[in-house]
Structure 1
Amino acid sequence: MTDHTESQGSAVAVGPPSDYRLAVPDGWDRIVLDSPERWGHRIDKLVKRRLRRTHATPQLEAALAERMRAQAEAAQANGGVEMYVVDQVLGQVPVSAGLVVTVLRPSPGTEPGDLGDIARSLALRSDAEDTGEAKDVSDTGAAGAGDVTLVDLPAGPAVRHRYLRRPAADDPDGNRLALAHLDVYLAVPRSDQRLLLSFSTPTAPPLEPLVEALVTLFDSVARTLQWMA
């Protein structure tokens, strides 16, 4: 007699992972992008702790907290689920970096496309900027020509995109520092969603000599990603 219970159980479809796990170094402060009230409270505590031993004015503290809240709001609006901020001193060099984790979902009625499509789109954009067919990135804040590769991570195949982003001439925050970016796109198993890890760090002195080491660290963090059942 056929064991119907076993045959039915083996036919149950396995769904997409319920979550992911990511290992980051000590000193990377995590902000969950759940609600403005909750992440605003976390940001206020983080800013107070970081500025505790400085001579920062209340106005500077408030401005920094407001800037971080605006960054969190923009990340959440684009599908961001969490962000990490890094503000440490390695040796005698202050290190600043960040990571935003974003869930990318296809627009209603559209096909998600595979990682190859993402790689080709990023490569075409970089080629256009390399040949001057794109807008002047120094005035628009757009990404400069970058390096796009397909890589294999423990969590699965991924698209690795390294590039430089220059600030817009009219940046509302007055930012004038170019940022080195490393974006890693992964396909969420058994899903039409993509997970994007967006790392960034300023390239200006005194951090400039550490950029390559930080990009290597970003790659190492991406390799710790694990899907959770």
Structure 2
Amino acid sequence: MTAAPAPATAVTAPGTPSGYAVTVPAAWDRVPLDDGARERAVRRIVARGFAGRDDRPLLRAAVERELLSAAAEAASRGGLELHLAARPVAGVVVPASLLVHVLPPEAVGAPGAAGLAAALTTGADPAAVTVVELPAGPAVRRRRTLPAVAGEDGARPGSVVVDHFVPLPGAAAGPPTVLVLTGSTPRVPWEEGVVVLLDAVARTLRWT
């Protein structure tokens, strides 16, 4: 994976590392989360992805909706950072996103990765939630498939979402602060390749 490290970002949690760093593909863009700037950034990304492909206006509009929605959701969650991509795969431009955000202890409600996995399994397919070992420490991986959603500005296709929940090490007993890496891509025949990439990005996480 040709990649570039994102700058270390601060995470506030007493007794834990002061921040983290994660490496994303060099072709992905970090997008600011304030309103006007994120919309301009998304449109630049889409324009670059569709350069020389003016014969696909409906697909271009769908990709732009997907990335604008991802950016708006990232802002609403109080995201720490958001990376977006709209790159050709097998001749078709495929959007993808990676959001990094934090769950405070009161939103976690269970100590350790195993307890967090048990909480996330409630109401979900148990096979979709697993405890994994990352270089940054024990984590919980959750894979979800979301249905298509109709909206006033057009339908959004179904998507595959992969979350990595990584408890900050060194916290006191009880529920930890959890760093969450949420990656998403539309349901497409080559979605598994994007999922593999998102798993690889999670393995680059390190504490600072």
Scaled by the length of structure 1, the TM-score of the pair is 0.68
CA shift for structure 1 position 23 = 1.1
8 Å contact kept, 1:32–1:81:
no
1:112, 1:119 → 2: CA distance?
9
CA shift for structure 1 position 214 = 1.8
2:197 aligns to what SS in structure 1? helix
8 Å contact kept, 2:62–2:156:
no
Counterpart position of 1:126: 124
Counterpart position of 2:73: 74
**For 2:133, which of 135, 152, 157 is the aligned residue?**
152
Counterpart position of 1:215: 195
Counterpart position of 2:154: 174
Counterpart position of 2:93: 94
5+ residue gaps in structure 1?
1-13, 128-144
8 Å contact kept, 2:132–2:140:
yes
AA paired with 1:73?
A
1:25, 1:63 → 2: CA distance?
23
1:65, 1:177 → 2: CA distance?
12
Query: Structure 1 residues 177 and 93, CA, compared in 2 at 3 Å: closer, same or farther?
Result: same
What are the within-5 Å matches in structure 2 for residues 12-161 of structure 1?
A: 15-33=15-33, 35-50=34-49, 53-55=52-54, 68-69=67-68, 71-107=70-106, 113-127=111-125, 147-161=128-142
Counterpart position of 1:224: 204
CA shift for structure 1 position 155 = 0.5
8 Å contact kept, 1:28–1:86:
yes
1:63, 1:182 → 2: CA distance?
21
Query: Structure 1 residues 41 and 201, CA, compared in 2 at 3 Å: closer, same or farther?
Result: closer
Query: Structure 1 residues 41 and 93, CA, compared in 2 at 3 Å: closer, same or farther?
Result: closer
Query: Structure 1 residues 32 and 116, CA, compared in 2 at 3 Å: closer, same or farther?
Result: farther
8 Å contact kept, 2:67–2:97:
no
8 Å contact kept, 1:146–1:164:
no
Whose radius of gyration is greater, 1 or 2?
Answer: 1
Q: RMSD of the alignment, in Å?
A: 3.3
1:80 aligns to what SS in structure 2? coil
8 Å contact kept, 1:85–1:98:
yes
How many equivalent pairs are there?
Answer: 190
**For 2:146, which of 165, 171, 189 is the aligned residue?**
165
Query: Structure 1 residues 40 and 201, CA, compared in 2 at 3 Å: closer, same or farther?
Result: closer
8 Å contact kept, 1:105–1:112:
no
1:221 aligns to what SS in structure 2? helix
8 Å contact kept, 2:70–2:97:
no
